[in-house]
Amino acid sequence: MPGIFQSLTHLLIRNCFARLARMDAILLAIVVVLSTIGFIALFSAGMAQPQRVHDQVRNLIVAGSVLLVVLNIPMKFWQKIALPVFIAGCVLLVATLLVGITTKGATRWLWIGVRIQPSEIMKLSAPLMLAWYYQKRCDSICIWDHVLACILLLIPVGLILKQPDLGTSLLVVIAGLSVIYFAGLNKRIIIGAILAFLASLPILWTFLHEYQRQRVMTLLDPTQDPLGKGFHINQALIAIGSGGFSGKGWMEGTQAHLNFIPEKTSDFLFAVYSEEFGFVGNLILLGLFLALIGRSFYIAGNANTLFERLTAGAIGTIFFTYTFVNMGMVSGILPVVGVPLPFMSYGGTALLILGTCTGILLSISAESKKLQRY
């Protein structure tokens, strides 16, 4: 008995080392560097809230562990659980609407022993399910598959919109649509859909909640109401702008340290970073994120199966969406939506999802036959 156990453990560890040796070290390096920079910025932003810094250390350790575990899970496993997780997620979303916790007018949380936000699961679960679907139909994908994929995607999106949570539903939509796009949806249809979307914007406007409209209005002119709705964005702009070319220096940001930046450890962490490290720091960060997205796409391009390709492509798109929406929001070119900066912002759930995403990418790279040449 102990012998069997020993050899099993041995096998597992060997397998683990084998995967570690075969995975894409560059992607991991980029993620480690980003997390390190993120923690440095968070350390400065969290001067007045040392608990946040401690918690983030814990979050990083947990996310890192999750990453290592996911790395060792074969992609076949994800393919198997994609649909059940998606269905479970939809059930949870329905449950949230029925018996969820309402805070600040939005019903986004569910109590199941711990407080969870089911919409977060959907960010990864929806693209996984779609990738699974396309993998299943890989030999004969036709236009109706795309239609069905869109309908499947609309189920969780609709449920999340109802909470209401425009930001998250947008992220789920983009992640899902990226899968459909990578699966080969006709370009003419894509262009047509984009045009139709733009044309329907005025109609969509009427469906938006008052607070959502105000956010858009604030984006258009943040100075209009400097102490009200525009306050957050104005202070963030002052922080970024006053950082200048080379920044005020680590721990020297006045906007951050005197509490002028709202949510400075989470959604607005980029403003803190930007104030202290300046334009140069921003370019370095943009470069790192660009590398992260490019490397994700590279892994996608070299993956073995359609499921893996689509998953990796979707994850790259998720990284991009998070980064662009967060930076765009903080620098005042996008409306304020609650999207964290990947690998940097404070927050356990977000890091957990990002760790899982990275783990999946590394798992794909470790299994890739094409990447085994090196």
Half-sphere exposure of 229 (CA within 13 A, CB side): 19
Q: Does 289 bind other proteins (CB under 8 A)?
A: yes
Q: CB–CB of 145/137 below 8 Å?
A: yes
Q: CB–CB of 175/325 below 8 Å?
A: no
Convert residues 172-191 into a mask of x (bound to other proteins by CB under 8 A) and - (unbound): ------x--xx-x-------
Both structure tokens of 174? 């983009």
| For other proteins, the closer CB: 61 or 189 | 189
The only residue of 309, 342, 359, 365 in contact with other proteins, by rule CB under 8 A: 309
Dist CA 219 CA 203 (whole Å): 19
Q: What is the DSSP letter of 305?
A: S
The only residue of 38, 118, 222, 313 in contact with other proteins, by rule CB under 8 A: 313
The only residue of 86, 132, 297, 343 in contact with other proteins, by rule CB under 8 A: 297
Question: By CB under 8 A, which span of 12-20, 122-130, 206-214, 236-244 interacts with other proteins?
Answer: 236-244
| For other proteins, the closer CB: 84 or 287 | 287
Q: Does 301 bind other proteins (CB under 8 A)?
A: yes
Question: What backbone torsions phi and psi does residue 215 show, to the nearest 5 degrees?
Answer: -60, -40
The only residue of 64, 238, 349, 352 in contact with other proteins, by rule CB under 8 A: 238
Q: Does 146 bind other proteins (CB under 8 A)?
A: no
For the chain, give me the number of helices (H) and strands (E)? 14, 3
Write down the least CB distance from residue 240 to other proteins, Å.
5
Q: Does 46 bind other proteins (CB under 8 A)?
A: no
How distant, in Å, are the alpha carbons of 210, 279, 338, 365 from that of 300?
40, 31, 28, 8
Question: What backbone torsions phi and psi does residue 302 show, to the nearest 5 degrees?
Answer: -110, 10
The only residue of 302, 363, 365, 368 in contact with other proteins, by rule CB under 8 A: 302
Half-sphere exposure of 65 (CA within 13 A, CB side): 7
* Residue whose C-alpha is closest to residue 128's, from 146, 114, 149: 149
Residues that bind other proteins (CB under 8 A): 26, 178, 181-182, 184, 235, 237-245, 254-255, 258-260, 274, 278-279, 282-283, 286, 289-291, 293-295, 297-298, 300-302, 309, 313, 316-317, 320, 324, 327-328, 331-333
